[in-house]
Structure 1
Amino acid sequence: MDNEKSKVLTALKDWRLFLAVFVIVLISEKIGVIKIPLGTMISISLFPMLYSMIFGMLSYFTKVTQTEQSANAEGMVFLAVLPLIAKLGMMIGPSLPKLVNMGLAIALQEFGHIGTILLALPIGILLGFRKELIGMTHSIGREANVSLIAEKYGIDSDEGRGVMTIYIVGTLFGTLFYGLMVPIFTLIPGIHVESWAMASGMGSGSMMAAASGALTNVYPDRANDIITYAGASQVLTTATGLYMSIFVLLPLTKKFYAWLMTALDKNKEAKLNG
């Protein structure tokens, strides 16, 4: 914790970093959301978050910012997530009546994150990743999850680098994926439009907008219902998802990772002895 505070204090003195961030945010917000239609049902939405990430990378490669600013930016992540935690806390109380009214289904959808643990964690180990996988696979790696890992492990830890990797990949490709794939997913028989709408609220504002927007293109007559269900699901997922990660997903990921690594070590030892 003391190390994180030291990084924050150092970053607060870096005027070049603040100026670069301010300019990038202004330009990104000025551009706004760009929608690219690909036929009657499919469209791709580009959000300011995507532009700011690209501009941030370009600022480094063009020497507008340098290694010092890049290092200081790591310290600012810890500070930047604190308002998010406060916001999540204030959202939880008003969301409880909605959770009761919408029934058990929308509450249980949080358990869908277990799929990222059971599927991605073993594959990641086979690909050579190690502790990064705890940050990468305990959830879909959005803002609340970044704040959790940053608080528990530090953003420059193996786990912190893992969750930031997923956050960056999700920002770059998440909205594109949902914009393209949601119309295809709706072809699966037996799933109601309300279910797809609730699934759109996965805890990321930009991804929810892309998924629900693509869904309204397929079901234009149900647009209001889609936005309502997606919005409620988004609020509840954001509010409850952090607690789900703290008490269920992150501990499960750590135990599953330890079990897999033990099994892998035993397998290697057996091969050596054999």
Structure 2
Amino acid sequence: MKLSVIITTYNAPAWLEKVLWGYRYQRFRDFELLVADDGSTADTAALIEKMRPELGVPLQHVWQEDEGFRKCTILNKAIMASTTDYLVFSDGDCIPRADFLEVHNREKQEGRFLSGGYFKLPMPISQAITLQDIAAQTCFDIRWLRKQGLEASFKDNKLTASGLKAAWLNRLTPTNASWNGHNASGWKRDILAVNGYDERMRYGALDRELGERLMNKGIRGRQIRYSAVCLHLDHSRGYVNDKDLQNNAAIREATRRGKRTWTESGIVKGPGPEKEARPR
């Protein structure tokens, strides 16, 4: 297989089902799927078992006990469970368009990672999307979304742009080519070289910090936000709190200021190979 797709989830089986159907209808089929589950109850496991024969690709359910928000920990476990050289990351609330993996596979490049975005939907439209809409791809049609009440915006270009226009928008967008957990991809060896996600981090830019270590390592981002499209389903965020946001901001600042390429709280616990090799 050419790609490993890692999607995160926590007790949102209704949204996860829509997302898994999105991967059922990918045009690019040479991939495995890993659900990185941060402690969901049995409902999610039952959904995954129900969906397994429908997907037509290998599916792993990587689960850990619910001990609070530990997304970075389950992501690191899923990275180690993956079996290919190239990893695509998204979330269990992001429905991929049928060409989503086709774009990631086509645009992957040595020494780079890919930075995509999402098209955020309000709750009523998130709830209105059916499995039939995903199969027919009507939920990605701006005319269908208008009928559901979506207001016009420049962001509509994420759904309507293609070919040269999408390439032009990718080039001209002022948005940084950062590592976005809902839509990003990179070489597994590069992610291992920076030791994966920092497990000290809770909610709030935890994915950006990984990207900053990749960039400090010389692995730069490439923008594909107008080419690799996913719909972000609305949901509450009861786990957000100021203490965690401040802690994450301090870790990111230390990464930027120190040009860190390694976290001692990642997949490997402790100093990286370069530090270990230095004379004491």
More helix by share: 1
Q: TM-score, normalised by structure 1?
A: 0.26
Q: TM-score, normalised by structure 2?
A: 0.26
More strand by share: 2
Bigger Rg over Cα: 1
Which of 1 and 2 has higher RCO (CA within 8 Å, sep 6+)? Answer: 2
